[in-house]
Amino acid sequence: MAKGGDKYQALIDALGHPVRRRVLRRYLESSARLSPKDLADSEKLPLSMVGYHVRRLQKLGAVELVGWRKRRGACQHFYRPTPLVKKSTLIRVALGMKAA
């Protein structure tokens, strides 16, 4: 993750991808913790694609892992937005949302 003010710039740059914008917006709009599987089902996208973009957002500090559970022999991970994203007017505007 980038240091200082660059962390916002790196995140804004990453939001150039439409799937990352959709995913991050869903995390911000939801009060529940969500898994990539939840998002893939609701957005009608392949799980592998959503999982990849959620991991990218996690590396950038936009979402954080908050839990997991075993499901059909696999591990389902749950994420939520970080305070960095929740409190950032810049990120919300970049996603086309109202400022907090």
pLDDT in tens, 30-79: 989 999 999 999 999 999 999 999 999 999 999 999 999 988 888 999 99
Distances (CA, A) of 49 to 12, 30, 39, 97: 20, 20, 11, 23
Domain 6-94: top CATH class: mainly alpha
Domain ranges of the chain: 6-94
Angle at 67 between CA 28 and CA 97, to 5 degrees: 5
DSSP designation for 17: S
Predicted TM-score of the model (pTM) = 0.86
**pLDDT for position 2:** 45
